[in-house]
Structure 1
Amino acid sequence: MPTLEPVAPASASATPLASAAERPRRLGLVLALLLTVTMLPLSVVVLLQPAAQLTPPPAVLAAVLAVLAVLHAASVAAHRLPRAGFVVGSAAMLALALLPLAGGVAAAMLPSSLAFLLLIALAAGHPDAPAGWGAPMRWGALAVGLAGSALITAVHMVRAGRDEPLVSLGELLGLAAMVVAAWLGGALDRSRRERAAEAEAVRLRQAIAAERTRIGRDLHDVVAHSLTVMVAQAEAAMLLAETDPGRSRSAIDRVASTGRDAMQGLRGMVRVLDDGGPAEREPAPGIDGLAALVAGAASPRHDTAFAERGERRPLPPDAELALYRAVQEALTNAVRHVAPPVRIRVELVWGDADAVVTVIDDGGSGRSSGGQGAGTGLVGLAERLRQAGGDLVVWRDRGWSIRASVPTGEP
């Protein structure tokens, strides 16, 4: 069954943030698995290789191997449990720092320790929200890494009985440099993703603002058309007042009805400032134009069909226009993004309280030049429908489908 997803402009700005939180976790999982299948076997080889002269007693060897497995498991688990993964990984590194290999070398110097650097990078790269680390946790991860570097150096120096301060200082600086590099890499990646998320949020806000400007132009069309009809009917009523009172009353009724329609179109529309450019003079399209719109999208490789079910009910002008634009955008997307041959079916269903239009394509040949939900067109449609009191739902099965609904006026 396809999964329905409402397209809500109000929450559009949250989408980049959610993606920013998910991307580093997915990348971290891939890197953690890669380190597990490469560094863990390499660490085992180093431990068991006689030439390396690092093999500890059997009990210590078993403990080291177990802790290494825990460290890699923590790096993999950090994909879903970043805090728990870092805490467990830090504990594993502490144990490795205290477990001696032959020659006094700390087990924390084994290749598998790169998994802990990955945990530090993930901690530094994790966003603040949702459920992020926050600045104290990120700086805390850096502090833990630097403290671990000092501990590993001190343990190595004591166990090896080394009295060479410069060598120990070089070891400390080398370990600290790797920790800082991992932390900076994560922090820089987080900063880049946050800038990209903010740019995406700005782009969506601009798309909504542009759509509101278009709504303003469409509103101008609706009101201008309604006023033109009202003036013409009022003039006719004046001329027929004495010679044909019946037709005069009918004209006055038409004026009142047109005025009510115009008022309905004004309700729920936001006031926007236009750029002062010339507005189109032709009436805004509506329900009556849907059949022609669908037929106009047909071609030898694009099979389109329109069906209407139920009894028509009054619709506010802005709601009619919103449904028309929804069908127009869906047809455009299907023709532009779905590789032909493709069948597109448009159905308008009238209910007791709403009008629902559904546009479904069959996916064509299965090839696509871009997702229908990737641009700002659907964001603008959702905003337009929301202003008209309706909503927009988009889903994908074999092909793309949209469902746009608006409430009907009083019968």
Structure 2
Amino acid sequence: MDEQRTHSGDGPLRGRGGPAPWRHGPAALRRWEEWVERRGLPWASTLAVTVFVQVGSGFAEHAQLEYRAKLDVFARLLLLVASLLLLLRHRHPVPVVYGVAAATMVYLGAGYPYGPVFFCVALGVFAAIVAGRRWAAWGAIGMLWLGHLLIAHWLYRWLPPGTDHGASWGGELVVAAWVVAIAAVAELARNRREQWAKERVEREQAAKRRADEERLRIARELHDVLAHSISVINVQAGVGLALLDSDPEQARTALTTIKSASKEALGEVRQVLDTLRAPGEAPRAPAPGLDRLPELVQQAASAGLTVDLATEGKRVELPPSTDLAAFRIVQEALTNVVRHSGSRHARVVVRYDGRRNLELSVDDDGPASRGDAGGSGNGLAGMRERAAALGGTIEAGSRADGGFRVRAVLPQRHEAKEGSP
């Protein structure tokens, strides 16, 4: 994972091919990231660290005059190098953390006073670990700590200022505790950053799934609307052409049916498209449901299909999604009878099974015809998708007597399972 991180040339550390992972973190971190991104390099924070280190080291010098060397030009330059390297800590965290550690080790080896220079090391280590370069950070810490042990417990005899004495091992334990604390805080920040990045990816994937599901729903809706209406239009157009010369009145009736079916199809298509233009708004017209089955039967009759409609059980109020799915399933089943069956008679039964399931069955006597009204072959797949989306099932197949049956079972309270009232 560490090797997959890249560094942007105009802002904070970024993941490859996407926005910075802290984008969805707390507001303070998000504002900080945006501020850094606008400026390209953390000039303000680096300048503040530089001033703090230079001024603080001056105070440390007065407190350690007895056993540490005075700050001279070389010491000030080392402090300046350690501070200014932090300007590149987001773009090049590995060279920066090693550079700061090296400058600090030379500073300590020259006998200059302990002080805020360690703040530069802490900030460099923090930036490297947060950037995912933890081994580089630990390597720089190890290098500096080993160098300090050699200087404080052995080499101090030969190094300036000459008046220094060896450090206590108890002090080394305090330094170790500070190192572990800095690394722990950096690891916590890194873990939170990765968590925010993961949550951002999950949100994007969820949004993509919702968009895909919405596209599928719209495609299914358009298919059901257009397939039924165009099948009716196709049949009536054939009747009109056949009777245009021999029976003008019947041809006129066919054209009237074509006009009515096309008008209704345009209205339903417009309703579907309105949901695309104004997402989130309530539809201007109610979605069709089982209460419109008589209209569906009348349309089928205009296409030459006689439909017997029966209702069994006590009717209950259905959720809108279930009501719409039930209507579309019956509509598609009747459309398939018009297209693919040689029978001109169909039976539709709507059965309410107490408060559990809604059962739909559409039967025709067959046999299958060779003609095709230009269907896409997605009718049964669309019905199964509608039923599955509600937790229901679809069975479709030939009967033993040569007819064809479509049977759907839909939960009557699907929305209640999702927590809806």
Using the size of structure 1 for normalisation, the TM-score is 0.49
Higher relative contact order, structure no. (Cα contacts within 8 Å, ≥ 6 residues apart): 1
Higher-Rg structure is: 2
Using the size of structure 2 for normalisation, the TM-score is 0.48
